[in-house]
Amino acid sequence: MDLSAFRRRSSPSASPDRSSAHGFLPAPPRRFRLGAMGLNRILASALLVLPLIATISVLYPRGGEQRPSDRLVGFAEARVLEGRALDGNATPLVSDDTDSSSPPVDLPKNYLLGGLLASEFDEQSCLSRFQSAIYRKISPHKPSSYLISRLREYEKLHKRCGPYTHSYNETLAKINSGKAIGSTDCKYVVWISFSGLGNRILTLASAFLYALLTNRVLLVDRGKDMVHLFCEPFPDKSWLLPTDFPLVNQLQRFDQNSPKCHGNMLKNNIINTSTDALPAYLYLHLAHDYGDHDKLFFCDEEQTVLAKVPWLVLKTDNYFVPSLFLMPSFDEELSKLFPDKETVFHHLGRYLFHPTNRVWGLITRYYQAYLAKADEKIGIQVRVFDVGKGPFPYIMDQILACTLKEKLLPEVDEKGSINSPPENQKLKAVLMTSLNSGYSEKLRNMYWEYPTVNGDLVGVYQPSHEEYQQTEKQLHNQKAWAEMYLLGMSDVLVTSSWSTFGYVAQGLGGLKPWILYKPENRTAPDPPCRRAMSMEPCFHAPPFYDCKAKTGIDTGALVRYVRHCEDMSWGLKVVSGRDEL
């Protein structure tokens, strides 16, 4: 309220006394006018104003008295009471609907992740986009200004060419005609939902980077659960492939023998670099079983042919980014996008993959209930490829050997000595993820039965134990996505060899994990683990081919920023490129 206006209205000098003006009573001396009706007016107005001021002060506290994170933590802690652990029937933080009734929270200053994210979104439609920065440490890896500008350009392209736009409808007509006739305003890459969730996340990031490099629009096959896992990453237009897309019912049947498969057409000499009559779409088979002609996708001369095709349909279960770094035509652009080369998935993963409100509820409730109060959070991701029912003793031996040797966890005093807690006692929270609960139970019992030698307290938590992978089950994948995200909130991370689940966690968290070597002959390896060279995922099935010489070559020895993986000797991964590596 404007108090000066209040004073003017209450002041006896502001207007003549109404009783005197009408001649009913003589006007009192001027110095006494406040004593009767004026004072009554002030008191009456105060009685009306004070409750209003009190209400405003409760709803809108002074900015310096409460941090945004404090408000969110209080909100999240209250919501914990409504939920259960991930292996129960958890109540969602909010529904997947956009009309959420959740109270608003203050946004952290870095909620756009240093400019990585666009600001044109409704907060309630995807809470994780706005709140994730509160739960994570600020990343030391800043996106380049060039990457930010290219993402904003892509968003404009996606808005102009996305589903049901004029350009989309015009280009779609070429599929029905069967030929890539004439120029087109927009070109597309369609990603097929294929394989497990970890693979899907990594391959979708790969497909988006390829789209960014080739000025194509990425459209996503929704599969059985993509809508229930991820929010829309681009403003204004959906990234989901429309259900009436002409090829939508054929996508899952495409393979390397399909008539429109790029590699198959090369093999049969149906197309080549001089072909003018190209089809309206080509299928790119880049899965682990791809053949030599499919691998020619990674040659610049084939990219010249593919650039003329309006629609590219891509199926892969590989993170093929490392081989893009070996292509001369993309080298300069990639260097500008990612001056720190090992940040590709870290930046693209945080840009693209925002958990839906349902999954975000699983994440935040579990975090607040079990992890929020810890001084240090240690993530341990266990994936066992050996046949048989675990837990396997040699896997547990390897986990302990790694975490104790690297001082990620404290030793225990098996004599059970009871000492006074040290002044610098720490609470360590261990988040374990595994299909089997046996490993976390053994670790939990160890720290329950014996005190630690340094006096630290260790809590061990496992959100779910599904016993076996259920790729096509929606709730299973929602839990898996929540656990990947929670692992990425760790301070330090231990992962299993060959596991894309662990790759996603390390990339989102910006962490260089300790990688557990793959056991051989059911024996714990020695050494049990090693620190990763970079936080980038591994390309498990790269081509070993020199496009110019047209001969085999070790592609892990061509440049210093693409090396063989720590956990798979024939795989490739991107590293920072520093000479000491």
How far apart, in Å, are the Cα atoms of 369 and each of 81, 287, 381? 9, 40, 20
Q: Is the dihedral of CA 72, 488, 575, 307 positive or negative?
A: negative
- Domain end call among 296, 318, 352: 352
Asked whether residue 217 falls in the same domain as residue 339, the answer is yes
The first and second tokens of residue 322, run together, are: 């490392």
Counting as low any pLDDT under 50, the low residues of the chain are 1-39, 42-43, 46-47, 49, 51-103, 579-581
Asked whether residue 395 falls in the same domain as residue 331, the answer is no
Is residue 471 situated within a structural domain?
A: yes
Asked whether residue 403 falls in the same domain as residue 341, the answer is no
Asked whether residue 290 falls in the same domain as residue 380, the answer is no
Q: What is the DSSP letter of 378?
A: E
Q: How many structural domains comprise the chain? A: 3
Asked whether residue 158 falls in the same domain as residue 211, the answer is yes
Asked whether residue 344 falls in the same domain as residue 294, the answer is yes
Q: Tell me the one-letter amino acid at 86.
A: L
Beta-strand relationship, 514-516 and 492-496: parallel
pLDDT for position 468:
62
pLDDT for position 53:
47
pLDDT for position 467:
63
Domain that holds residue 262: 145-352
CA atoms within 13 A on the CB side of 259: 4
The first and second tokens of residue 415, run together, are: 């004599």
Percent of the residues in the chain that have a pLDDT greater than 70, as a whole number: 79
pLDDT for position 419:
76
**Chain-centre distance of CA 198, in angstroms?**
12
For residue 527, whether the previous peptide bond is cis, meaning omega lies within 30 degrees of 0, is yes
How far is it, in rounded angstroms, from Cα 203 to Cα 195? Answer: 10
Rounded to the nearest 10°, the torsion over CA 330, 335, 336, 340 is: 140
Say which residues have a Cβ less than 8 Å from residue 353's Cβ, sequence separation at least 6: 201, 204, 205, 230, 233, 508
How far is it, in rounded angstroms, from Cα 162 to Cα 152? Answer: 15
pLDDT in tens, 16-29: 333 333 333 333 33
Instruction: List the one residue out of 165, 164, 169, 170 whose CA is nearest residue 182.
Output: 170
pLDDT for position 274:
84
Is residue 121 situated within a structural domain?
A: no
pLDDT for position 106:
64
pLDDT for position 77:
34
- Domain end call among 60, 79, 104: 60
Asked whether residue 519 falls in the same domain as residue 554, the answer is yes
Q: Is the dihedral of CA 320, 322, 328, 330 positive or negative?
A: positive
Asked whether residue 253 falls in the same domain as residue 389, the answer is no
Is residue 94 situated within a structural domain?
A: no
How far is it, in rounded angstroms, from Cα 460 to Cα 448? Answer: 10
- Domain end call among 28, 43, 60: 60
Asked whether residue 437 falls in the same domain as residue 343, the answer is no
pLDDT for position 115:
94
Asked whether residue 206 falls in the same domain as residue 312, the answer is yes
Is residue 95 situated within a structural domain?
A: no
Question: Following DSSP, what letter does each residue of 266-298 receive, concatenated?
Answer: HHTTS--TT--S-BSEEEEE-STT--TTGGGGG
Is residue 358 situated within a structural domain?
A: no
Asked whether residue 380 falls in the same domain as residue 339, the answer is no
CA atoms within 13 A on the CB side of 503: 28
Is residue 131 situated within a structural domain?
A: no
pLDDT for position 184:
84
Q: What is the CATH number of the domain that holds 404?
A: 3.40.50
Is residue 367 situated within a structural domain?
A: no
Per the DSSP assignment, residues forming a β-bridge with 460 are 430
Is residue 459 situated within a structural domain?
A: yes
Asked whether residue 170 falls in the same domain as residue 240, the answer is yes
